[in-house]
Amino acid sequence: MTTNEQTLTGERVDILEFLGKHRYFLRHTAQGLTDEQANTRSTVSALTVGGLIKHVTSVEQHWAEFAVNGGGAEVPKVEFTPEVIAAWEDKFRLTEGETLAGALAEYEKVAAATDELVKTLDLDVTYELPAAPWQPPGVFWSVRRVFLHITAETAQHAGHADIIRETIDGQKSMG
């Protein structure tokens, strides 16, 4: 399941650099923000810079665990009660007692753990994705694809965060 870290290939280096670049852009959107600004809904969307960092952290951790252990057979059925909806929404914002610094620290911790997996896991191992309304059964992803998916998610949400940040105070990641 793992490879010797000394055999770090160009492909692994590429994945690490690509993921690192998009993590940088996401973290850059938070640079210099107060907790209040990081939790500001500055567009029509309910998204915030702090909430996006929290969300990307959770998504990365979930997919990293999938890369190690595979997924369950099926996504559990969920009844969308007001409590379930509120808990879901809390994944996209800083809640009472949470800080931007804390969200960034957790992101760094998860990122470091994922980087170790990129360096050591067999990229060719495949796991079946859980059956879900949006995913038919019988679809398999390689560990390589999981890491590319984490990168795509990070890049997409870094773009969202950039728009939100630009609306707050004009700062842009690029340009």
Phi, psi of 121 (to 5 degrees): -75, 150
Class of domain 9-169: mainly alpha
Domain map (residue ranges) of the chain: 9-169
pLDDT at 115 over 80: yes
Phi, psi of 140 (to 5 degrees): -115, 145
Distance CA 67, CA 84 (A): 27
pLDDT at 46 over 60: yes
The total of other beta-carbon atoms located within 10 Å of residue 79's CB is 6
Closest CA to 149 of 60, 68, 39: 60
Which residue pairs from 6-11 have beta carbons closer than 8 angstroms and sit at least 24 positions apart in sequence?
Answer: 8/119, 11/123, 11/144
Distance CA 18, CA 2 (A): 21
pTM score of the predicted model = 0.89
The total of other beta-carbon atoms located within 10 Å of residue 11's CB is 11
Within the chain, what is the greatest distance between any pair of CA atoms?
50
pLDDT at 72 over 70: no
pLDDT tens-place string over residues 140-160 = 999 999 999 999 999 999 999
